[in-house]
Chain A
C-alpha cells in the first residue's frame, strides 16, 4: 500500500476540515448553533472561483498567485453569507437550526444560478462548472524522506501553510485573548457577559461572521484539490467538520486530532479501493467509510460530550 499517498492525501483533506471546524467552534462556543458551515464553504469557494474567472479573463493570463487572491475572496465570500446567517439568528431571532438549513439550501441554489449567469457574462459560455488551474504543490526537502510520515511533507498545497498559520492564530485568539475569553463565556452564560457590560449579540455576530471566513478558507482549499468548482462541490464536508468539532468536544486542539482522524480514514479507504482494484461500485462503498466512522464515533462519544451550556439559546436581556 502507498503509505506516502495516504499521508499526503489525508493531510490535504484533514486541514481544510480542521479550519472549517474551527469556524464552527467559534460560533458554537459563543452560543450560536452552527449548521451552515456547508453553505459557507461552498459559497466562499464559489466567490473565490468566480473571482479567478473574472481576473483570468481580464488579464488573459493565469499566474500562480491567483490562488491567493481566490483564497482571500473565498474568505470574504464565506463571511458575506455568514453575515446573512448572523442577521437571521441574532437580529431577527430565527431558530438557529432552521436558519442553518435555509442557508445551506440557499447556498447551493444561489451558487449554481450565479455561476451560470456570471460565467455567461464574462466568458460568453454559461456553465455551472468553473475550471480552475491546478494548484502548485511543495515538497519539503529532508523531512519528506522520513519513513512512514514522510508523506506528510510531500506535495503540500499552499493552503496547508495558510491553514496552519490561521489555525494557530485562531487558537491563540480563542484561548488567550480578551476577545476569546468573552466569546467562550457567551456560550456558557451570556448573562454573565451582559452583567460585565459586554454586548452579547455583537460578540456572537462577530463569531458567526468569523465562522464564515474560516469555512470559506476551507471551502477554497477543497475546491483547489479537485481544481474545479460546481454545485457538486457540496458533498457534506461542512457537516463532517461539525462532526469533527462535536467529536472534538468543542475544543480546538482535540478537534485537530479528530479532523486528522477523519482525513486519514478517508485517504486510507481511497487507497484500499485502489489497492484491491475494485470496481467503482465497491469503491463507492468504501468512500462512505469516513461517514460510517462519523456515525459510530458520534454514537459512542456524544454521551461524554459537553456542549456549551447556552448553545442555541437566543440572548434576551429581559429574561433572567
Chain B
C-alpha cells in the first residue's frame, strides 16, 4: 500500500472538563479503508471533526499529503479534498437532491449582471456520478420523500461531487437495515477500488472485519493502538475498545409464559398528518415474555408503542391490559393501570432536561403518597427515593440527586428513566430503542435490566431498530413493515437474515 495521505501527530483536544483526544498519533494510507473504533465518548468523532476542520486541536499537527495544514473550517477540508458523511445527515429537507449537493459550491450561469444557479447542468453531472459508483438516485427527488439509505447516498454523492479523495464516514450504518448495510459496505469497497481513501468511524466490529484494512482503537480519548484487521479477532478488538474483557453472551433461561397481559387487536392509527401509520395491527404479550417489534425506522413501530402508552389515539381496534379495555383511558390512567414506558427519545420525552435527577425520578408518581400529601409535595420523600434509586441502579451523576439531568451522560440518563419506570412495578414495560446511542458497557447493563424484568414475570414489549438486540433478547419477534405486522413467530424459528428480509417487506 502507498504512502500516508493523512498523518495526525500528537493531537490533543480538550473540552470543558474533559479531554476528548489525548495525544493521538496515527497515519492513514492512500487507498485504504481505515476504521476508527471506540465506544461512545471515546473521541472518534472529535478526532475526525478535527480532520474535517470543524474543531481546531489544542495541540498537535496535521499533515495531508505530506504537507502540514491548519484547518479552520470545513471549507479548508473540502479544499484538501476531504469529505465527511455525518452521523446526522446535513440535508435540507425541502430541497431536491441536486440542490442539496450543489449547496455551498453552486455552478453559476451568467447573463449580463445576472447570475443564477445552474441546476440543470448540475443534475447531469450528479446523474453521471451516481452511475459511475452505483449510487442510484434521481437528482430531482426531494430529500423529504427519500428513505434514510437514499439520503445517505446523497451525502456520499455530495462528497464525490466535490472531488473528495478522503472520505470520512461517521457511524454510517447505525440507521440502516442489514441489507442496506451490505449495500453500503459494497459501495465503500467500490470507492476504494476507485482510489479513494476511506475512514470509517464505528463501534460495530463485524463491519470492520468485513471491509476495513486497518483499525485504530480509541479508549477514553487515547489511542490504544492500530491493528491489522485481517489478523485481529473481533473479540480482541472488543476487549481493546472497552479496556476490559467483555461478555457478549446474555443469560436468558427458557421459561413458561403466563397469561396474556397486553392484547392489541386490529389497531389502526393515523398520525397528525392523517397518514395511516399503523395498519390493522394485532399482537399479544404474555407474562414473562419479551416480544420484540423489529423493523426499519419509520415503519410504524414507535406509533404502536405510543398508541399502547396513550400518546397517540387509535381510530380502530382495541387494546386491553389484563383483560381490561384501556384504549379510551388517559396516559395517566394507563400508568396507574400498570404500563411503564421507556420512550425512544430520552431527552425529549423521557426526562425534563432542566430539572434535577431527583424530580425526574418522581415525575410519574409525584402526586401520589408519599410524594405528596393533601396536594403538598414532600421533598424528603423525593430525596429518599432518589438516593435509593441512584444506589440500586448505579446512576452516576456529578451532584447526586441534585444533578441537572442535562449534564448527565446518555447512558446514565437512560439508567434514570429505566429506574423510574421499573419502580412503577407495572405489569407491562414498553422499551422503545432502549440502547440507542449507548456504549457497549451501558448496553449490557440495560439488557440485563430487561432480562431481570422478564425473570420477574413482567410482560415486555421491545421496539428496536438494532437487529442484534432483537435477536439477543426476544422470545417472540414481530416484524413491522409500512405499519403492518408482516410476521410474528417464536424467535428461535427465525434467523437474523430472515428477519432482515421481512424488514424489507419481502414475504415468502
Contact = CB atoms under 8 A, between A and B. Distances in A.
Interface of A: 172, 176-178, 181-182, 184-185, 188-189, 191-198, 306, 309, 317, 320
A185 B101 CA distance: 12
A193 B91 CA distance: 9
A44 B87 CA distance: 45
B117 A195 contact: no
A195 B90 contact: yes
Contacts of A317: 54
A236 B93 CA distance: 34
B410 to A, nearest CB: 13
B115 A189 contact: no
Nearest to B76: A197
Interface majority SS on B: helix, strand, loop or mixed? loop
A193 B104 CA distance: 7
A196 B95 contact: no
A190 to B, nearest CB: 9
Given A188-B95, A196-B103, A317-B54, A178 B117 contact: yes
A178 B91 contact: no
A85 B120 CA distance: 38
Contacts of B84: 195
Contacts of A193: 103-104
Interface string B74-99: 11001000001011101111110001
Contacts of B468: none
A176 to B, nearest CB: 4
A192 B92 contact: yes
B93 A189 contact: yes
Given A191-B90, A197-B75, A177 B115 contact: yes
A242 B256 CA distance: 64
Contacts of A196: 74, 90, 103-105
A192 B91 contact: yes
B143 to A, nearest CB: 9
B73 interface: yes
A195 B74 contact: yes
Interface residues on B, range: 20 to 34
A198 B88 contact: no
B86 A189 contact: no
Contacts of A306: 94
B95 A185 contact: yes
Given A178-B117, A182-B104, A197-B78, A309 B93 contact: yes
Contacts of A198: 103-104
A194 B116 CA distance: 21
A198 B78 CA distance: 12
A191 B155 CA distance: 13
Interface of B: 54, 73-75, 78, 84, 86-88, 90-95, 99-100, 102-106, 108, 114-117
Contact of B116 (A176, A182, A309): A176
Contacts of A191: 88, 90
Interface centre among A176, A182, A185, A193 (most CB of B within 10 A): A185
Contact of B92 (A176, A189, A320): A189
Contact of A178 (B54, B86, B88, B108): B108
Nearest to B155: A195
A178 B116 CA distance: 7
Contacts of A181: 99, 102-103, 106, 117
Contacts of B86: 195, 320
Nearest to B78: A197
Contacts of B88: 191, 320
A276 B371 CA distance: 67
Contacts of A320: 86-88
A219 B105 CA distance: 37
B117 A189 contact: no
A17 B249 CA distance: 68
B116 A189 contact: no
B440 to A, nearest CB: 22
A188 B89 CA distance: 13
A192 B117 contact: no
A184 B117 CA distance: 14
A185 B103 CA distance: 8
B74 A194 contact: yes
22 contacts: A172-B116, A176-B116, A177-B117, A178-B115, A181-B102, A181-B106, A184-B92, A185-B95, A192-B90, A192-B92, A193-B104, A195-B74, A195-B90, A196-B74, A196-B90, A197-B75, A197-B104, A197-B105, A198-B103, A306-B94, A309-B93, A317-B54
